[in-house]
Structure formats: C-alpha cells, structure tokens
Structure 1
Amino acid sequence: MTAAAGLVAVTLVGLVLAPLPGWTSGELSVVQWFSAHHAPAWDAAAGLIGTVVSPPVGFVLLLVTCAVAARWIGLRRAAVLLGIAGATLAGGIVLKVLVHRPRPDVALLVSPPPVDTSFGYPSGHTTVATVLVLVALAVLPRRHRAWLVPAGVVLVAAVAASRVYLGLHYPLDVTAAAVYAVCAFAFLSALVMTRPARRLLAVVHLDPCAPDAPSSDQPSVPPEGDHA
C-alpha cells in the first residue's frame, strides 16, 4: 500500500508541481549555480558516473548481477528479480513520457551539456543506480546490509548530484527518480508474491516460491565456502 501510494505521489508531483513556472525557476537557479562552478576533475567524475550508470550499461550490469546471483538464490528467483528490475526501468520511461518535463535550457547555463531532447522527469540514470542498489540488497547475504545500505545511499546521491551538476536534470527529477525506483521495485516485489501472480509465473516455471528455490528466510546466502 505504501509503495503504491508513493508511485501515485511521484506521478502527481510530476504532473502538477513540476510544470509550475515558479517551481521550475527555483530549481533552475540550483542548476545554474552548479553550472557556474564547474571544475575539470568534477567534470571527469560526473562524466564517468554518467557512463557507468547509463540505462544501456546499467541494464547489462543488472543482467550480469542476476546471472551471478542465480547460483545463490536459484535460477527462478534470479529471473523474477531481473524481471522486476527491468519492469521498474521500463516504468520510469513510461513516467517520463507521461509527465514530459523538459530538461534545463542549456542556453541559460554557463557550462552547458550536450543538448538532450528526451524528457527529464524522472532521471533515468538515478533510476538505474537505485535499481542496482536494490538488486544488490536482494541478492547479497543480509549480514552485508549494514554497509551496503549506506554505500547505496551514497552511490545514488552521487549519481543524482552529478546529473544536476552537469545541467541535465532539475533537482526534482533526480529526487523523484530515487523515490519512484524504490516504490516501483517494492510494489512489483510484493505483486509477484501474490497468489494470482505466482500462478501465472508457475505456467512458465518461474514461481519464486517453488520447492527448488531458496526459502525467503535465506534469500541469497551462498555456501560458506564461497566466501573464502
């Protein structure tokens, strides 16, 4: 219920708040401040981040992560997890088209980025980064969450800041992307565990609760010998 409410809220914010001239003007001032304070080292770092978590590269990373995780959590659960991640990314694209918010006007920036005519809300790069962190949380042993959660927050924040720094997104775009990704991932994860969804998945032998899949109490713990 909370995840669904979050999705509705993100959509409404994009449709109602983001188009307001006063709100956009305030966000633009933040983007312009970053644009006026560029430095070569920061430019290189932001560019590298943009490449690593770009949607095409990010999806490849998801494929690799789920393929490796299949030996720990089972092929069925890995396939379902990849489907949840992919559907979350696809939903972000649908939300972009629905809201159709333009990116910051490069003519108003001191250090303008290359012109990107695609829509900006929510940020695709921030969505990818958030989904990667969520997938890692789903497949790694629970004892690693103490460091993975703060590391994931830092990663998502760095990606979000880099997109605003480059002048490619407004702050609301990147914030909405992180909230959207968490809510969509949680909603879909709960959805696949419902009885109707499990019956449909069972038709293609992908029921995540099938007997040969690990139990939900130990979703991703590999044999101890694998940590040597």
Structure 2
Amino acid sequence: MRRKLVIGNWKMHGKHQANAQLLEALLPALAESAGVETAVCPPYPYLAQVAELLAGSTLKLGAQNLSRFDQGAHTGEVSAHMLRELGCQYVLVGHSERRSLYGEDDRLVAEKFAAALCADLVPVLCVGESLAQRRGEITERVVAEQIQAVLQRVGINGLAGGVIAYEPVWAIGTGETATPAQVQAVHRHIRSLLAEQDPAVAAAMRILYGGSVKAANAGELFAQTDVDGGLIGGASLDAASFAAICAAAQR
C-alpha cells in the first residue's frame, strides 16, 4: 500500500522569525498524522535554519530546485550534493513556475531529475498542462511527453526512485481547483503510462496532486484511488491549514 505524502512548497516566502513560528506551531499539530509522510521545501537561504528546527522530528526537508550540474563555474546555481549535505531528502523538479517563468524544458527537467538521483535525493517530478492545453483536450499528451523525457534519461527504474506530482497550471495560485474526477483521470493516466513499462513500478509510484489544495477540499481529493497525497503551496504557510491537509491524508 502506498503511504500518503504531503509536501509543503513555501515558494519565495519566509523570514527567520516567521519560519520558526510556523514550525513551532506545525510540528506538534502533525503528531495526529503519524501515518502520513510529510516534508517542507523552504527557499535556499533558509534550508540550514529549517534543517536545525526539524532535527528529531518526522517532518522532512526538501528543496525547490537544483542545478543539473554537480559542480563548476555555474554562478548562482546549487547542486544536488549541496542540498543533500544540508539535510534535504526531497527536491522539486520541473515545477510549473520553473517551466513557465524560467524556460525549463522537458530535457532540462530530465537532467535535473537524474542529478537528484545521483545525490540520493528523491526528485518530485512536476507535470501538468496549461489552461489552453486543457481546453484543447491534449492534457494526456502533454503529461505523457513530460514523463517520457525523464524515462528516456533515467529509465523506468530511475523514475521509480522519485515521486510524480500532477499540477494543472491553471489551478496553481488561482483559487481554481480541478475536480476530484478530473484529478483522478489524469492520475490514472499517469499510472497506466508507467504500467506499460513496469506494472510493479506503476503500482508503487506515489502520484501527488498540486493545485490550490486546501483543508476544505483535501479529503475528497486524497480519497481518489490514484491520488497519494499533495504538493501544497499557499496553504503550507499556515500551520493549521497544512496540519488539516495532512490529517485529511491520514484519513
């Protein structure tokens, strides 16, 4: 049985005092969701602080991005091994904002996925379609191409070392949420794609949903057969909201 996973993506938010206050409130609240695996992904400058605050807890540390390079003359970049040394266990790869705002294409995302694996990080591969692509009824094709790029780079066994997060671009930060039926349909499609390569990997792969998940809708979303948790944006900045979402995953 796949263990539910809920990851909080803080995006470009945080201050030392605010981070400490958030985690001080969150960690005790997560005690009621012991059966759910949880993680937070703060901005780079706060990774060391958050790692220290999480010491001894079950809440895991992740990063929001990484370089495809291991080291070298790459000013401003951060390598997978650096993240691992700071205590990260997860790293987001190909988030829709990285793709749309910073021009990351499928090939680059695949390289970053491979770099994460090399450092024993768990890459969280973000895939999803734009509103135009949804209206054009090519969601399944878009998602398949994004996953296929990673399969071509690391193979099905490499992909098995990661997590997939389906995040429809039109439902991120907009207040719009895909219906549970829409989410389940895409998740089922993703799992069927993997099953064509390896049924065992497909059955074990955790596929998260990200896109305006809130305490009010988390339960219904997480109840879908192929939804194994969530990648949470804004709601992860509020301890009560994030804890409620994790509790929904527990149920």
TM-score (norm 2): 0.27
Identify, as 1 or 2, the structure richer in helix.
1
TM-score (norm 1): 0.29
Larger of the two Rg values belongs to structure: 1
